[in-house]
A and B are shown apart, each in its own frame.
Chain A
Amino acid sequence: MTVLVYAEHDNSQLKSETAKLVHAATKIGGDIHVLVAGSNCEGIASEAAKIDDVAKVLLVDNENFEHQLAENTADLLVEIGKDYSHILASASTTGKNFMPRVAALLDVAQLSDVIGVESDDTFVRPIYAGNAIATVQSSDSIKVLTVRASAFDAQATGNNAEIEKLDKGSEAKGVSFVGEELTESERPELGAAEIVISGGRGMQNGENFALLEGIADKLGAAIGASRAAVDAGFVPNDMQVGQTGKIVAPQLYIAVGISGAIQHLAGMKDSKVIVAINKDEEAPIFQVADYGLVGDLFDILPELEKSV
Chain B
Amino acid sequence: MKILVPVKRAIDYNVKVRVKADNSGVDLTNAKMAINPFCEIAVEEAVRLKEKGIAEEVVVVSVGNKSCQEQIRTALALGADRGIQIDTDESLDSLQIAKLLAKVVEKEAPKMVILGKQSIDSDNNQTGQMLAALTNMPQGTFASQVEVDGDSVKVTREIDGGLQTIALTLPAVVTTDLRLNEPRYASLPNIMKAKRKPLDVMPASDFGVELTSNVKVIKVEAPAQRKGGVKVADVAELVDKLKNEAKVI
Contacts and interface: CB of A to CB of B under 8 A. Distances in A.
Interface in B222-249: 222-223, 226-232, 234-236, 238-239, 241-242, 246, 248-249
Contacts of B44: none
Interface of B, helix, strand, loop or mixed by DSSP = mixed
A78 to B, nearest CB: 9
Which of A172, A181, A183, A231 has the most chain B CB atoms inside 10 A of its CB?
A181
Contact of B11 (A109, A128, A230, A288): A128
A96 B123 contact: no
A294 interface: yes
Contacts, number: 255
B246 A173 contact: no
Binding site secondary structure of chain A: mixed
A216 B228 CA distance: 26
A286 B229 CA distance: 8
Q: Using C-beta atoms within 8 Å of the partner chain, give the interface range for chain A.
A: 35 or more
B93 interface: yes
Interface stretch (B54-62, B79-87, B165-173, B199-207): B165-173
A290 B162 contact: no
Contacts of A177: 164-166
Interface string A283-295: 0001111111110
B178 interface: yes
Given A127-B26, A291-B241, A292-B232, A181 B162 contact: yes
A292 B230 contact: yes
B231 A294 contact: yes
B103 interface: no
A292 B138 contact: no
Nearest to B182: A231
B242 A291 contact: yes
Contacts of A126: 123, 223
Contact of A238 (B141, B161, B178, B219): B161
A289 B227 CA distance: 9
A4 interface: no
A180 B165 CA distance: 6
A210 interface: no
Interface of A: 10, 67, 69-71, 74, 92-94, 96-105, 107-113, 122, 126-140, 172-183, 191, 195, 219, 227, 230-231, 236-238, 243-244, 246, 251-252, 262-263, 269, 272-275, 281, 286-294, 300, 303-304, 307-308
Per CB-CB distance, the 7 closest pairs between chain A and chain B, nearest first, are A100-B129, A100-B126, A174-B138, A104-B130, A104-B133, A290-B229, A175-B138
